Structure 1
Amino acid sequence: MSTIPEMKAETLEQKLNNNEDVTVIDVREDEEVAEGMIPNAKHIKLGNLPEQYRDLDKETDYVVVCRSGRRSMKASEFLKENGFSSVTNLEGGMLAWSGDLSYK
Structure 2
Amino acid sequence: EREVANIWQKVLNLSQIGANDNFFELGGHSLLASQVISRLRDVFSVELSLHSLLEYPTVASLAQTIEVLNVAKNTKAASKGGTVMTTASENYEEGEL
TM-score, normalised on structure 2? 0.26
- Tell me which protein shows more strand as a share of its residues: 1
Higher relative contact order (CA 8 A, sep 6+): 1
- Tell me which protein shows more helix as a share of its residues: 2
Which has the greater radius of gyration?
2
